[in-house]
Amino acid sequence: MREFIEESGQASDLADLVESFERAIRRLNFEHYSFSYCVAKPNSGAASQPEHRVLALNYPSHWVEHYRDQDYFRRDPVIRHARATVAPYQWTELPVQCDRELLVLQEASDAGLREGLAIPIHEPWGRVFLATLATKQAQTSQRAADAQVQIQAHVLAVIFHSRYSALCGAQAQDPLIGLTPRESECLGWVAQGKSSWDIGQLMAVSEHTVNFHLKNAMRKFDTASRVTAAVRAASLGLIELP
């Protein structure tokens, strides 16, 4: 994690940033990645925003060509679900709504993308940044379901998104934010992949109290994600990431 933080901070362009990210996800046993943007509400009339824009990926070339030829982004359940949640999710967890969506997942598996983890990051103005990690190893499914791995992947994606936004000049300056000692401690544990219950045990407080402090911290950073709050706190030097 620290290695990626340092490398991402030194990245001068998207190619450098993607290369560092690929090394980081391989340590989590994922071989493939994709970064894209989609609109939160398709057909909303926002003419200036394309419905789906890919920034970078290293999926098998034959699958990418087939995906584009078939216009699969319009029936891809991974993209559809990203619009409705802020939490990471496995492809195998997706509630498939029709046979066409199931076909996309089946053909992705046939192309060598047997398991995937998606991390949506909702931006203002109706955009969703979507990072997906995938593997050809079926046995990695249990690994992808591991809470610690999902937290680490989420942190990596948030750092990537933050650094990419900065490189593009789109990242607004964070206002001066002050955290209470309890808020800082809770966010520090979040960065280490701990649940509210775990944090409560470590701090000898109730789960309700932990959630209270985390909600206050999330409000200060104007985010619905505790992981995003932890990463932003770390970028301001308010906490240390593991």
pLDDT tens series, the chain, 242 aa: 778 888 888 898 889 999 999 999 999 999 999 999 998 776 554 444 557 889 999 999 999 999 999 999 989 999 999 999 988 999 988 989 999 999 999 999 999 998 999 999 988 777 899 999 999 886 555 555 677 788 889 999 999 998 898 888 755 455 567 889 999 999 999 988 889 999 999 999 999 999 999 999 998 888 888 888 888 888 777 887 76
Task: Count the neighbouring beta carbons within 10 Å of the beta carbon of residue 220.
Answer: 18
Structure-block tokens of residue 120: 């949506």
Identify the H or E element spanning 160. Answer: helix 147-167
Structure tokens at 52: 């789906």
Query: What is the rounded distance in angstroms from the CA atom of residue 58 to the CA atom of residue 18?
Result: 10
In the prediction, which pLDDT does 144 show?
55
This prediction's pTM: 0.77
With contact defined as beta carbons under 8 Å apart, do 56 and 162 qualify? Answer: no
